Chains A and B, each alone.
Chain A
Amino acid sequence: MQDRKHVAWLYGQLPDLLRDGTIDADSASRIRSRYGDVEEGGQSRAIVLFGILGAALIGGGIILLIAHNWDGFGRPLRAALSLAPLLLGQGLVGWTLARRPESVAWREGAGTFLTLAIGASIALVAQTYHTGGRFEDFLLSWVILGLPVAYLLRATLPAILYLVGIVSWAGINSAWTWDQGNWGVGEALGYWGLLALAMPWWFIEMREGRYGPRVALFGWTLALTLPIGFAISLGKVTFGFAGPVWHAAFWTTLFLAGAKWWPHATSPRQRPLLQVGALGAVGVALVLTFGDAWREHPTITGSLAGYAIPLAWLAASLALWADALKRRDVGSALLGSLPVVACAGYAVSAVSPWLAAAAFNLYVFALGVGVLVIGLRAQRLAMVNAGMMILSALILIRFFDVDIGFVARGVAFIVIGAGFLLTNVMLLRKRRAAQ
């Protein structure tokens, strides 16, 4: 909230700054696109939230009333009633577009209502006529019909529901095909096609600034659903073949993309890809410090076409890494090198899994130290702590992994803990002194 206030103040200053020639019109518009909308801060954000909540509740209530399955009404009347929420939603959306196109609360509220109404109408008609059908088919037609609402109203919730819907669809589909020993590469790839339909929504929103709450909300949903979609399509294709490489490539790409395209975030909330990607990448790196992680060596299975997805992620991670190197962004390049290290590890592991694990122990150690040092130099507390977390995670893991006495463990824990506290205290003092 606080930084929104500052941005509002800054925007208030812009006209004066323009007038006295301190900045030109170009700079002013760049500043605006850098910080995004301020309207959505504070009170108006609450109004938007209540708009969505209200629409969802009213929509849910109407749906429940109709779902009662009024036996007395007769079939055609019930079918017509089932279409009522949909027509109401469309009317609401039409009214919003005509009369309140500027109001975020109306757009989000009407969009939410219509999105729910689409699913409800299909389900209610299906109930009236006792047509069963597969849940995933119902889900698919619902989300596809609902996506245009997100674009038309530039509404966030329909877009987010779409992301959740397609990953659920992929999950249900894969569970069934898996059961039947049927790999269904086509369905696994279908997720990526569906995802591609939603991405322009994000890019359109980004044109008004990458750091706004709507872009971030979509980003968080994406960062949290993508791993599921990726795991599903990977499971269908590779069956463990070169697994470490694909996982490393996926998380690293998220992290590097977040670092590259959201460089000036004022709060961690604004960088979902970076946050989730970094967490996943470090997690993968830590898992790969275990010798057992390298012991499985399945041969290539599944269809080669299916490898397009993991290979694309690998290519993206390498390209972004090269870019980070070019920009001399050492902090990003350190963690960004994970896929390369994983490739090397995978090549070595065929000969000796132990060697690959040893290499990864060294890598994670170097990563932790590197992040720590960069953080200390730049006096960035978050990075210092991240570096220390990586180091302590590595040390803790090795402690539980290897047979070491309680006394040695106890001492090590105390040393790590003391190190944490000392560095933080020192950094804070330094910062205060600088101020």
Chain B
Amino acid sequence: MCLFQLAAPASIAWRQERTLARGAAFRFQTAPVDPYDAFRGRYVALSFRDNLPILPKGTTLAPGAKVYAPIEVGADGFARFGEVLLTPPEGKPYLTLRLSERFSTQGLPLPFDRFYLEETKAPAAEVIYRKHARDRDAWLVVRILDGDWAIEDLFVGGKPIREAIAGP
């Protein structure tokens, strides 16, 4: 019992550390929103536009199905997702997604949708983040390894958000 209880949080930590250590880094440009998730503390809610993975037209998949979104880096240096595949692409970076019941045809929601901060810093962070996201000047650095992902940092105006809050 004790081992199972420990394994639940520890396995999350272990996979994240592995991806952070060995994964390739990609920058995803973000767009803003703002909720409060009382259960897990304060965070900046992230949303993405234009760069979401899309289901090829005419595919019907049951909720819970695994799909693979190949990642391409554009000329601007930002990463985008292509049309999702049913098998992992060979020799190309990709993100593994599990279809939830809640996807729309606009694009599949990305699993990285929040960035946690100390609760005293989160309000200030949100103001800065919102401004930069509007200027298309905010991005998230995500490490990807074998379809797994781990958030490295959130950048606004070219600086990590914690530095940006601390001031120039």
Contacts and interface: CB of A to CB of B under 8 A. Distances in A.
B63 A86 contact: no
A141 B39 CA distance: 15
A87 B2 CA distance: 9
Contact count band on B: 20 to 34
Interface string A29-49: 000000000000000000000
Interface residues of A, number: 41
Given A71-B117, A129-B151, A122 B43 contact: no
Contacts of A83: 6, 9-10
Contacts of A118: 5, 8
B77 to A, nearest CB: 22
Interface stretch (A62-70, A208-216, A234-242, A398-406): A62-70
Contacts of A135: 39
A133 B118 contact: no
Interface in A120-140: 121-135
Contacts of B2: 90
Contacts of B150: 129
B4 interface: yes
B106 to A, nearest CB: 14
A82 interface: yes
A424 interface: no
B56 interface: no
Interface in A72-95: 75-76, 79, 82-83, 86-87, 90
A176 interface: yes
Nearest to B154: A130
A423 B9 CA distance: 63
| Chain A residues touching B, majority SS | helix
B75 interface: no
A182 interface: yes
Contacts of A82: 9, 13
B103 to A, nearest CB: 9
Given A133-B111, A182-B101, A127 B13 contact: no
Interface of B: 1-2, 4-6, 8-10, 12-13, 16-17, 39-43, 63, 100-102, 111-119, 121, 150-151, 162
Interface of A: 67-71, 75-76, 79, 82-83, 86-87, 90, 114, 118, 121-135, 141, 145, 148-149, 152, 176-177, 179-180, 182, 184
